[in-house]
Amino acid sequence: MEQQYIRNFCIIAHIDHGKSTLADRLLESTSTIGLRDMKQQILDSLDLERERGITIKLVPVKMNYTAKDGREYVLNLIDTPGHVDFGYEVSRSLAACEGALLVVDATQGVEAQTLANAYMAVDQGLEILPVINKIDLPSSRPEYVIREIEDVVGLDCDHVILASAKEGKGIDDILERVVEKVPAPLGDREAPLQAMIFDSVYDNYKGVICYIRVVNGRIRPGQTIRFMATGGVFPVEEVGVFRPGFQPCDELAAGEVGYVVSNIKTVAEAHTGDTITDNGRPAASPLPGYRKVKPVVFCGFYPVERDDYPQLRDALEKLTLNDSSINFEPETSVALGFGFRCGFLGLLHMDVSKERLRREFGVELVATAPNVVYEVVTKDGGLIEAHRPSDFPEIGEIQEVREPVIKISLFVPTEYVGKVMKLCQDKRGTYVSMDYLAPDRVRLVYELPLAEFIIDFHDKLKSQTRGYASLDYEFIGLKAADLVRVDVLVSGEAADAFSFICHRDSAYYRGQAAVRKLKELIPSQLFEVPIQASVGKKVIVRQNVKALRKDVLAKCYGGDITRKRKLLEKQKEGKKRMKQIGKVSIPQEAFLAFLQVE
């Protein structure tokens, strides 16, 4: 296909504004998929995606469209995820396109990710076509939303398209507008090959499949290619296009979007964002714009049955074949045995990965509470990357602790502004700015410690604004904070598995909660068991698990009071001795109940 008849575009939107439904309509309307094969949200291929109604992995598809000018065009559509954790996937798909449909819900208006995604598209220099969706709903307010797009996003809405993905309204207008407005790809087909990998998946039969956008040159089976970042050299076995399944073809040339299979064993060898070139006639430089993602939220995954460790490792390996943004390394815990410390892009990403391990690989696992990575500067000038509380040095040796901080933008109806500001302050947020997007909507910007954000920020925000607030965040770096390690001691011995890091001001409150919870979980022993929380050497909270007491007076009917007393004294003595030598065995269930997050 000649480049002038190719259009590469994507759909960007806030979550639930109707991207996937709109994509379905486009596929139908271009007869890419027969009505018979149409199931709802065909591009959301993971079961989990359909169930949760969210897009997690992006899926490209090629459509043929005969425009009103009578010519046939190839439209490559890349559906993108809308959730904040998957922003990186959005940026990848944007880099493969020349245009973007910005879908905005006519009842909701511009939300946090509408803006974040639109800015990303502007940065990449894409032609943005605003589409107002869901105009079939009685509560839709297209006029109002148009003003919002113009004022808040700063896009010209003269040619805005009013659509209803549900009823199929406006779909033809969208296709025509894409042909008319989205620029055809440029690129020299005779130049050395440069193709950008925007995603890669693992297939049991084909191995790693790289999704590529050819920017210059051509790629065909038999050619030997080189991955410019990793240096790997492979023969091309197959190239093809997305229909939306894989359909082999003879060649992909500059401007085209498709896939390449080349006997690569792991996704790690095919980095998203890397440039593929011809090994014999390499390009002078790789394509720009590649950003390596770094996980920011960590947690431990442990098999429920200890024997399942090898299965869990296999499953994680396979999962990372498909999602290279996850990383993991072996870890052992006194409490939970052998497991893995895994890093994710965010909480939802963690949740989804856990669920996928369970469903796709049948692994039952225990996930520990998520945490972040701290940087500890010691008094002797050392720098420690602390992944877990036990990595923290003694309190006297610490010069400074730094924690990851995010900048969070919240779109909130005015009536909830007070509550949201309080929530942010409670979470140690620092106010940055507030502006009115409309008379009844405000954008609040705060800087917030990531550690506080991942505890329960989302849930609290949702419940306090009845689901009317939306948010977007970006990682901005590390900042010093007054953080301490709270140790939990059971019967005077530090139980590593229970210690945690928190701000000094909340150490008492969090320590109390932990001690109380443990008190319920540890069964009574023959002697009294103190449970304490301490910062450094200082105990800040203490509670006792009462001792089991044998009724030593049972056999002593009547009789002298001194005799009873004697028996009791003897018991007390015995208990004291026992306490010195007795070790508290904390049952596995207690560890699980304490460490596991639902």
Q: Could you tell me if 117 and 92 are in contact, meaning their C-beta atoms sit under 8 angstroms apart?
A: no
Piece of the chain touching ligand GTP by CB under 6 A; list 51-59, 229-237, 485-493, 520-528: 51-59
Burial 267-283 (b: 16+ CB within 10 A, else e): bebbbbbbbbbbeeebb
Q: Which is nearer to ligand GTP, 42 or 283 (CB)?
A: 42
Strands 275-278 and 194-203: antiparallel
Cα 33 off chain centre by: 31
SS percent in the chain: helix, strand, coil, step 5: 30, 35, 35
Give the residue at shortest CB distance from ligand GTP.
82
3-state SS class at 565: helix
d(CA 226, CA 504): 52
- Interacting residue with ligand GTP among 30, 91, 117, 164 (CB under 6 A): 164
* Secondary structure of 403-465 in HEC code, one letter for each residue: EEEEEEEEEEEHHHHHHHHHHHHHCCCEEEEEEEEECCEEEEEEEEEHHHHHHHHHHHHHHHC
Instruction: Identify which of 363, 361, 362, 368 has the alpha carbon closest to the alpha carbon of residue 332.
Output: 368
Piece of the chain touching ligand GTP by CB under 6 A; list 163-171, 306-314, 318-326, 487-495: 163-171
Q: Treating both helix axes as pointing N-terminal to C-terminal, what angle do 309-322 and 347-361 enclose, rounded to 10 degrees?
A: 120
Known binding residue 134? Answer is yes
- Interacting residue with ligand GTP among 6, 12, 15, 270 (CB under 6 A): 15
Instruction: Identify which of 504, 499, 429, 503 has the alpha carbon closest to the alpha carbon of residue 460.
Output: 429
3-state SS class at 300: strand
Q: How many residues at the interface with ligand GTP, by CB under 6 A?
A: 21
DSSP string, 256-277: -EEEEE-----GGGS-TT-EEE
3-state SS class at 233: strand
Q: Could you tell me if 221 and 238 are in contact, meaning their C-beta atoms sit under 8 angstroms apart?
A: yes
Residues β-bridged to residue 383:
377
User: DSSP character for 511?
Assistant: H
Known binding residue 19? Answer is yes
- Interacting residue with ligand GTP among 19, 92, 177, 441 (CB under 6 A): 19
Residues β-bridged to residue 479:
403
Piece of the chain touching ligand GTP by CB under 6 A; list 161-169, 177-185, 247-255, 277-285: 161-169
Minimum distance of ligand GTP from residue 597's CB (angstroms)? 23
Instruction: Identify which of 43, 51, 46 has the alpha carbon closest to the alpha carbon of residue 21.
Output: 43
Q: Does 13 bind ligand GTP (CB under 6 A)?
A: yes
d(CA 154, CA 119): 10
- Interacting residue with ligand GTP among 8, 20, 223, 499 (CB under 6 A): 20
Piece of the chain touching ligand GTP by CB under 6 A; list 49-57, 213-221, 241-249, 454-462: 49-57
Q: Does 443 bind ligand GTP (CB under 6 A)?
A: no
Known binding residue 136? Answer is yes
Piece of the chain touching ligand GTP by CB under 6 A; list 53-61, 312-320, 385-393, 510-518: 53-61
Instruction: Identify which of 503, 499, 507, 500 has the alpha carbon closest to the alpha carbon of residue 483.
Output: 503
Q: Which is nearer to ligand GTP, 57 or 510 (CB)?
A: 57
The residue behind tokens 């990531």 is 450
Q: Which amino acid is at 543?
A: Q
Strands 59-66 and 72-79: antiparallel
Q: Does 165 bind ligand GTP (CB under 6 A)?
A: yes
Known binding residue 20? Answer is yes
- Interacting residue with ligand GTP among 6, 10, 27, 54 (CB under 6 A): 54
Phi, psi of 257 (to 5 degrees): -115, 135
Q: Which is nearer to ligand GTP, 252 or 461 (CB)?
A: 461
Distances (CA, A) of 128 to 16, 134, 154, 459, 524: 19, 19, 11, 33, 66
- Interacting residue with ligand GTP among 166, 358, 458, 542 (CB under 6 A): 166
Minimum distance of ligand GTP from residue 307's CB (angstroms)? 37
- Interacting residue with ligand GTP among 82, 130, 255, 370 (CB under 6 A): 82
Q: Does 55 bind ligand GTP (CB under 6 A)?
A: yes
d(CA 66, CA 73): 6
- Interacting residue with ligand GTP among 16, 28, 251, 351 (CB under 6 A): 16
d(CA 4, CA 8): 11
Minimum distance of ligand GTP from residue 65's CB (angstroms)? 21
Q: Which is nearer to ligand GTP, 35 or 554 (CB)?
A: 35
Q: Which is nearer to ligand GTP, 99 or 389 (CB)?
A: 99
* Secondary structure of 384-412 in HEC code, one letter for each residue: EEECCHHHCCCHHHEEEEEEEEEEEEEEE
**Both ends of the chain: CA-CA distance in Å?**
51
Q: Which is nearer to ligand GTP, 53 or 492 (CB)?
A: 53
Q: Does 53 bind ligand GTP (CB under 6 A)?
A: yes
Element (H, E) at 82: none
Piece of the chain touching ligand GTP by CB under 6 A; list 162-170, 312-320, 435-443, 550-558: 162-170
Q: Does 134 bind ligand GTP (CB under 6 A)?
A: yes
Minimum distance of ligand GTP from residue 111's CB (angstroms)? 11
Known binding residue 133? Answer is yes
Of residues 358-397, which lie at the interface with ligand GTP (CB under 6 A)? none
Minimum distance of ligand GTP from residue 378's CB (angstroms)? 44
Q: Does 293 bind ligand GTP (CB under 6 A)?
A: no
Q: Which is nearer to ligand GTP, 90 or 540 (CB)?
A: 90
Q: Which is nearer to ligand GTP, 275 or 470 (CB)?
A: 470
Piece of the chain touching ligand GTP by CB under 6 A; list 160-168, 276-284, 350-358, 430-438: 160-168
- Interacting residue with ligand GTP among 1, 2, 71, 137 (CB under 6 A): 137
Minimum distance of ligand GTP from residue 53's CB (angstroms)? 5
Q: Does 108 bind ligand GTP (CB under 6 A)?
A: no
Annotated binding site: 16-21, 133-136
Positions in the binding site for ligand GTP (CB under 6 A):
13, 15-21, 41, 53-55, 81-82, 133-134, 136-137, 164-166
Sequence ranges of the binding site for GTP: 16-21, 133-136
